[in-house]
Structure 1
Amino acid sequence: MKFDMDYIAHHNALTETNPYLKLFITIFLLVLTLALDNLYFDIFIFIAMSIVILAIAKINIRSYLKFLSIPMVFVVLTCIFLIFFFGKGEVIYETGIFGIVVTTDSLHYGVYTFFRVIGCLPLLGFLALTTPIAKILHCLETLKVPKIVIEIALLMYNTIFIFLNEIDTMQKAQETRLGYSTYFGSFKSLGALASTIFLRSLDKSETLQHSLDSRGYTGELPIYEPRKKEN
């Protein structure tokens, strides 16, 4: 699944909006959402920020759904795990498998966690999809965030998209060879993809290190600084 978040961040209606303002709004609403601890407010934030992203920033709905789909898979799996394996209280459903049950406490815990997370996802999406990473890192540097944190964030951002691009390329290659035409073939292709991508990741990380060294990397990455507007 190809998803160019960097292109979207550079081409939307809020790209040129003050990045400090967007960063402040994101952090303030994140803290407020976590502090209020209210599921209704979580749902309200999800709807409100989704409207801002789609209607004001004018980001394509398919791109927004792709952004949500990646973390949403992990959220759903985590919440299912919480529902079946955590919590005490009255049993409301028995699976009949190794004594695994769903209790009132575990169901509440899973649903509660799900809504807390989806309340925060659009806030992160608002910042990530409307602000180029270079501007975000410049804001963090101005706010005196330790340089090591900024450099790790930059390298992680770069590596994640190299990783996703590799998966996209390999998946398309498998599809052209009918790797997903049958159930057995799909499992075999996914297994090959998982094992190969690990080796590709190691190779890409080594290539990245060589690229940094060849450009005079001394342990500190330069941070983008926007040009001051002339009066």
Structure 2
Amino acid sequence: MLAIDKISGRSRWCHRDPRLKLGCWVVLMSLALGLPPAGQAVLAALIAALSCWMLRVSLRRWLGWIAIPCGFLLLSTLTMLLSAAAQPAGMLWSVPLGFTYLGVLPAGLDMANHTLWRSLAAISATFWLVLNLPFIQLIALLQRCRVPVLLTEQILLTWRFIFILLDEMQAIYQAQALRFGYRTLRGSYRSLAMLAGMLFSRVMVRYQQMATALEVKLYQGDFHL
């Protein structure tokens, strides 16, 4: 989350109107869903090049980000690609497994091809929006889209508590590491268990401190966003 916040803050489009960014995302998503597989592949490549230029990052770093969801995408595509049948007739490729054959059908290959490139283009477009839209602009965009205030407040508080969670986790981990808590495998498991327990209690303390601060400021149940 810290990396996303920093990257979106140094984007070339950091100060552009968030409605323009949302409009561009809608156009990119429409193309990602409507183009044929070859066009979707070209669109994904163009979005990657555009993102690297706008975010001032290398292509290698962009591919590292996109590789995380692509791992799940390739796994789901593989399940579409492979089919099981009693006979290998009609399969482009097959291997016997007991009394059945595992192989690739033309329909499965076509479905996997369409799903892979469509999903890759859509993921690239969504990454482009997330990494070019600072959190402050996201809140402003939600307000302009007339999103319920309660939902906007929940998103804001969740974002805030992510940083609190990371801050507390880093402090506990550094204290354990200084005491050689991760020197052995057994000690690492024990330290991780202690970290999880202490993290929950520390976050609850921070929550109580925030609630007390809000009461002192005469909090009436609404955040002035």
Do the structures match in fold with TM over 0.5? yes
**Cα deviation, residue 39, structure 1:** 1.2
- Write the distance in 1 (CA, Å) between the matches of 2:206 and 2:74: 33
* TM-aligned CA deviation for residue 81 of structure 1: 2.6
Matched residue, 1:137: 139
Q: Output the CA distance in 1 between the equivalents of 2:166 and 2:74.
A: 21
1:108 deviates by 2.5
Unaligned runs of 5+ in 1: 180-184, 224-231
> Aligned residues, how many?
211
**1:82 touches 1:110 (CA, 8 Å); kept in 2?**
yes
2:44–2:121 CA contact under 8 A, matched in 1: yes
Distance 1:20 1:117, change over 3 A: same
Specify the structure having the higher radius of gyration (Cα).
2
- Equivalence for 1:77: 75
RMSD: 4.3
Conserved? CA contact 1:3–1:66, under 8 Å? no
The reply to whether residue 177 of structure 1 matches residue 183 of structure 2 is yes
Counterpart for residue 115 of structure 2: 113
1:8, CA displacement in angstroms? 0.7
Matched letter for residue 41 of structure 1: G
Measure how far apart 1:32 and its partner are.
Answer: 3.5
The TM-score with structure 1 as length reference comes to 0.67
Residue 61 of structure 1 aligns with an amino acid whose one-letter code is L
Q: Is 2:83–2:104's contact at 8 Å kept on the other side of the alignment?
A: no
- What pairs with 1:9-158 in structure 2 (closer than 5 Å)? 9-34=8-33, 36-84=34-82, 90-91=90-91, 92-94=93-95, 96=97, 99=100, 101-104=102-105, 105-155=107-157, 157=159
CA contact (8 A) 1:12 1:59 kept: no
1:37-68 per-position Cα deviation (integer Å, ceiling 9, x unaligned): 52122112211111111124323434423321
Range 94-103 or range 39-48, more displaced? 94-103
2:44/2:120 contact within 8 Å kept: yes
**Structure 2 vs 1, CA of residues 53 and 108 (structure 1 numbering), >3 Å: closer, same or farther?**
same
Aligned to 1:229: none
**Alpha-carbon distance in 2 for matches of 1:37, 1:70:** 24
- Give the direction of change, closer, same or farther, for the CA distance of 1:94–1:55 in structure 2 (3 Å limit): same
